[in-house]
Copies of this chain bind each other. A is one copy, B any other.
């Protein structure tokens, strides 16, 4: 029987979502809880990884258990066995051919940055940029990222990877109380793609790049032309749609 979980986490203390030898990961914590409940090694398959210190509001993952569990009790059981910086918000049964990664239709990320004075209370949850940015220029630049593009300039190039084409449906940028929130809605995102787009939008907001430079960066398909990767702590996986 295949189960789909929706879960949130504070990524601050983790080496990212995905299991790696001798690292502290979100996947490990949930799999350890499932091992305690079922006494079997269960692998969970998420919608995708998130990097070290990145947060999730609604991450999704599926896994198979060989019997039917009461959903409420299973959810409560997992939550009682994982640390309090991870929380299973929902659990449901899905079809056996459902796949939490392959079936993704849309992913939504948000990135938060503080353009006001340093705030120690938010330091792990909002990137403390602490300087002014020209938000209107950033909005103008973001329009050039919309649609289907080869995003090779905005990701870590990997010899095994052939497809760098992704579609961005929408980018919403708003500023309130010195916090800029950038929302990205797309059919999928390459590794570091959101943070590299944010880094490049910051360069535009600093007037170090012109909004139209985005066109050339995309065309270059060369990572050296996009700006530096924005810090991880401002990034949240907000939602995954199937």
A contact set with B: CB distance below 8 Å: 8-10, 55, 57, 84-87, 89, 117-121, 123, 125, 236
Most buried by B among A9, A10, A57, A121: A121
Identical copies of this chain, number:
2
CA of A204 to CA of B193 in the docked complex: distance in angstroms? Answer: 48
Residue contact B85 to A8, C-beta cutoff 8 Å: no
* Distance between Cα atoms of A80 and B125 in the complex (Å): 21
Q: How far, in angstroms, from A224 to B8 measured CA to CA in the complex?
A: 38
Question: Smallest CB–CB gap between A58 and chain B, Å?
Answer: 11
Partner of A8, one of B8, B10, B57, B121: B121
Chain B residues in 8 Å Cβ range of A8:
119-121
Contact across chains for A10 and B123 when beta carbons are under 8 A apart? yes
B120 to A125, Cβ gap below 8 A?
no
Chain B neighbourhood of A86, CB < 8 A: 120
From B87, B121, B123, A120 is in contact (CB under 8 Å) with: B87
Rounded to whole Å, the gap between the CB of A115 and the closest CB of chain B is: 16
6 examples of A-B residue contacts, CB within 8 angstroms: A8-B121, A10-B121, A10-B123, A84-B123, A87-B117, A89-B117
